[in-house]
Amino acid sequence: MQPSESNPDAILPGAHGVHHNWLYRRVALPVLALLRMGASPEKLAWSIAVGLLIGINPILGSTTVLCLAVAFVLRLNIAASQLGNHVVYPLEIILVIPFIRVASRVFHTAPMPLSAQQLLRAARESPVALTRQLWLWEWHAFLLWAIVAVVAVPVIALGLTPFLRRLLKRVERHQYPVLSSTTQPLK
């Protein structure tokens, strides 16, 4: 059955055997849905860019609330910003130590010891000093991230906008199948 104006949820012929990967199901389909609901490509691009950059900030555990607050204050699409935030979560974990190491060089602070033995010894000998040093490393890493984010968000948003405009044109021409509620995607 072909998609039509009377039945936009129809599946294209041959679509029953299509098995989309995780990235398509969890990233592309939500973006397509937001475009179908009337979100502008420009607002989506800025929302996704903000979410991507907030998602890699070095303060572990802060990304969801920070992303929600920034999206609300800037009147961005909250769903798109959270999508960008959660997609890059593995990068946040990977980039924490590099942000701390680079920030300690930029701000001329003591380098963070990466061995567990050194950290445990410092925790036993002077826990208050270690706590202060950890906060200093995190604060400097956050400042470095903020500088990177201020530069990178517009670059990413401006790069995503033409792509999302082309995608919107394809959505308007119904060139993407809408998965019906009877079709069960692979998990």
The rounded distance, in Å, linking the Cα atoms of 17 and 99 is 44
- Determine contact, residues 53/153, Cβ cutoff 8 Å: yes
Give tens-digit pLDDT for 130-176.
899 889 999 999 999 999 999 999 999 999 999 999 888 888 887 66
Higher pLDDT, 72 or 178: 72
DSSP-derived secondary structure for 136-180: HHHHHHHHHHHHHHHHHHHHHHHHHHHHHHHHHHHHHTT-SPPPP
The residue with greater pLDDT, 114 or 68, is 68
| DSSP conformation class of 80 | H
Residue 6: count of CB within 10 angstroms of its CB: 6
Query: Does residue 180 register a pLDDT over 60?
Result: no
* Residue positions counted in the chain: 187
**Nearest in space to 141 (alpha carbons), one of 110, 108, 101, 109:** 101
Kindly report, residue by residue over 73-108, the tens digit of the pLDDT.
Answer: 999 999 999 999 999 999 999 999 999 999 999 999
5: amino acid identity, one letter:
E
pLDDT, residue 1, reads: 47
Cut 0.85: pTM above it: no
Per the CB < 8 A criterion, the answer to whether 42 and 75 are in contact is no
Q: Name the maximum alpha-carbon separation found in the chain.
A: 73
CB 85 within 8 A of CB 44: no
* Residue 73: other Cβ atoms inside 10 A: 8
Bigger pLDDT: 41 vs 177: 41
